[in-house]
Structure formats: C-alpha cells, structure tokens
C-alpha cells in the first residue's frame, strides 16, 4: 500500500462501553493522583499507604478496561498480543535511560503506539509497560502506581491527538505534533509524579503542602515546588522524548501501522 495512505488509516474503533470503562479508569486515576489537592485536613493517607492502595485499586480497573474492550470488539487477540509485545519492549528499553539526569528512553514508544493504535491501547500500554519495567528493574515501591497512571495518561493523550493528512506535508505536521506533545506530556508526567511525595517532602515554607488549603493554593505551591526541584529532570525527559520521536518516528510509525494493517486490526 502506498506510504501516503498509512498516515490516514482509521484507528481501531472504540465503542461506547469501552470508552466508558476507559473514561472511568482515567477519571479515577486523575482523582487518586490528585488527592493532596482535594483532601480535607486530617486525611488518613500517608506516603507509605497511598501507593499500595492506589495500586490495589488500579489493577481491577485496568483489568476491567481490557475485558470491556475485548467484549466490545475494541481489542481482539491480535491487539492483546501487540499490547504484550509493546509492553515488553517498553520494559526492555527503559533501563537504557533509567531517568539519569532526566534522560528517559521509553515515552517516545508510548506516544507513537498511542498515536497508531488509539487512546485505549495507549492508556493500557502506559500501565502495563511501566508495571513490567518496574518488575524487571526492581523499581517496585509506593511510587509505581503513580508512574503507571502518569504514563497511561501520556498514551491516552497521544491517541486523542487530531489526525493529519497523508501527504508529505501531513506526515511532517504529524511528526511535529507528536514531538510537541511529547515535550508537554513529559513535563506533565513530572508534575503528576511530584504529587506522590510532595505533601511529605517539605513540611514548612512556601513550597510545602497545606492540608485542606484548597485547590488553588496547593496547586500554586505544587507548581513552585516543581520549578524549584524537578524542572531540570523534566526538561531532560522532554528533550529526550522529542529527540527520539523526531529520530525514530518516521520509521516506527510506518512499522507499527504496517503491523496493524497486516493483522487486519487498523
């Protein structure tokens, strides 16, 4: 098939039940991660208990999302196999970056896969890929559910990006769009991860968390904390993701679309 057609092929359909399950899982994840901004004074969650509880609630939601999409025709056996393969690739590639100096070698794969296979696949890949990576590298801890959900949002957003044409200009526009999204999502990923430890990291000062202080006050303090502590790492992650999207995107997008086409999935 001519290359021009590859960029405009429709994604796998997402029916209303699968979309509802995905929306519920994503909504729960966002609320669960942002609990410090919503919690009332004297909340019972602590740094050591919030992660395990979040993980315990995450697994049934991800499982339910997969089952609903399978039952509704959004995912078939070939799509599940692709999800397993891509999760293994994410787990294998991630240690090459390991987050040193902000270098992350995994998010470009989640962005490209979410772009080709759709929002539901991207959301599931973010969860399963980071989970497999944590098991492979021994990175299991209270922070792992936050990493899984944050990566899931990266894949979800990539699948929701607007379509572009199949011409040469359209492919260039698509690559630029994915690079820009990779930069923004990398910064947002760092902000979401800070929610896992920021309430416990600083107890006094203008950067500290104020229990029951309201969304606006605590959000401004979270942004200030991010700028003062993790921005350098987040910029490194964004730069790595943009570079890898631009370098590998033209080839990987064609490979992923060809694999989906030959499986009669997309």
* For the chain, domain boundaries: 3-262
Rounded Cα gap, residues 184 and 71, in angstroms: 34
* Whole-number pLDDT of residue 6: 46
* Per-residue model confidence as pLDDT tens digits over 124-135: 899 889 988 888
pLDDT for residue 42 is more than 70: no
pTM reported for the whole predicted model: 0.83
Rounded Cα gap, residues 14 and 163, in angstroms: 16
pLDDT for residue 54 is more than 50: yes
Instruction: State the helix-helix crossing angle for 77-93 and 119-137, rounded to 10 degrees.
Output: 40
The 10 Å CB-count burial string (b at 16+, else e) for 190-222 is bbbbbbbbbbeebeeeebbbeeebeeeebeebb
Size of the chain in residues = 266
* Whole-number pLDDT of residue 204: 77
* Per-residue model confidence as pLDDT tens digits over 177-234: 999 999 999 999 999 989 888 887 777 788 888 877 778 888 899 999 999 888 888 9
pLDDT for residue 8 is more than 50: no
Rounded Cα gap, residues 149 and 62, in angstroms: 10
Of 9-13, 67-71, 105-109, 133-137, the poorest mean pLDDT is in: 9-13
Rounded Cα gap, residues 154 and 163, in angstroms: 17
* Whole-number pLDDT of residue 107: 93
Judge contact between 12 and 266, C-beta under 8 A.
yes
Higher pLDDT, 66 or 260: 260
Give how far Cα 55 sits from Cα of 64, 131, 147, Å. 14, 10, 11
Mean pLDDT of the chain, nearest integer: 80
pLDDT for residue 265 is more than 60: no
pLDDT for residue 44 is more than 50: no
pLDDT for residue 140 is more than 90: no
Instruction: State the helix-helix crossing angle for 144-159 and 16-33, rounded to 10 degrees.
Output: 140
Give the residue from 71, 63, 33, 64 showing the smallest Cα distance to 131.
63
What would the two tokens of residue 32 be? 């669960």
């Amino acid at each position: 098939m001519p290359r021009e057609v590859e960029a405009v092929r429709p994604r796998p359909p997402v029916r209303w039940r699968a979309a509802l399950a995905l929306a519920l899982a994503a909504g729960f994840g966002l609320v669960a991660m942002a609990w410090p901004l919503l919690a009332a004074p004297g909340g019972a969650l602590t740094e050591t208990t919030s992660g395990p509880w979040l993980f315990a609630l995450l697994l049934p939601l991800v499982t339910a999302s997969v089952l609903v999409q399978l039952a509704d025709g959004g995912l078939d056996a070939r799509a599940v196999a692709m999800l397993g393969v891509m999760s293994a690739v994410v787990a294998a590639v991630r240690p090459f970056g390991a987050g040193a100096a902000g270098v992350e070698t995994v998010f470009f794969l989640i962005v490209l896969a979410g772009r080709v296979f759709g929002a539901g696949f991207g959301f599931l890949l973010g969860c399963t890929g980071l989970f497999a990576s944590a098991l492979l590298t021994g990175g299991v801890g209270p922070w792992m559910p936050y990493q899984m959900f944050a990566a899931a949002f990266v894949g979800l957003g990539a699948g929701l990006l607007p379509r572009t044409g199949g011409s040469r200009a359209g492919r260039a526009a698509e690559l630029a769009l994915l690079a820009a999204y990779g930069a923004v999502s990398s910064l947002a990923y760092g902000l979401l991860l800070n929610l896992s430890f920021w309430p416990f990291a600083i107890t006094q000062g203008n950067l500290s968390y104020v229990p029951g202080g309201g969304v606006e006050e605590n959000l401004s303090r979270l942004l200030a904390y991010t700028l003062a502590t993790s921005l350098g790492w987040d910029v490194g992650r964004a730069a790595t993701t943009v570079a890898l999207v631009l370098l590998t995107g033209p080839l990987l997008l064609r490979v992923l679309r060809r694999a989906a086409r030959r499986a009669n999935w997309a």
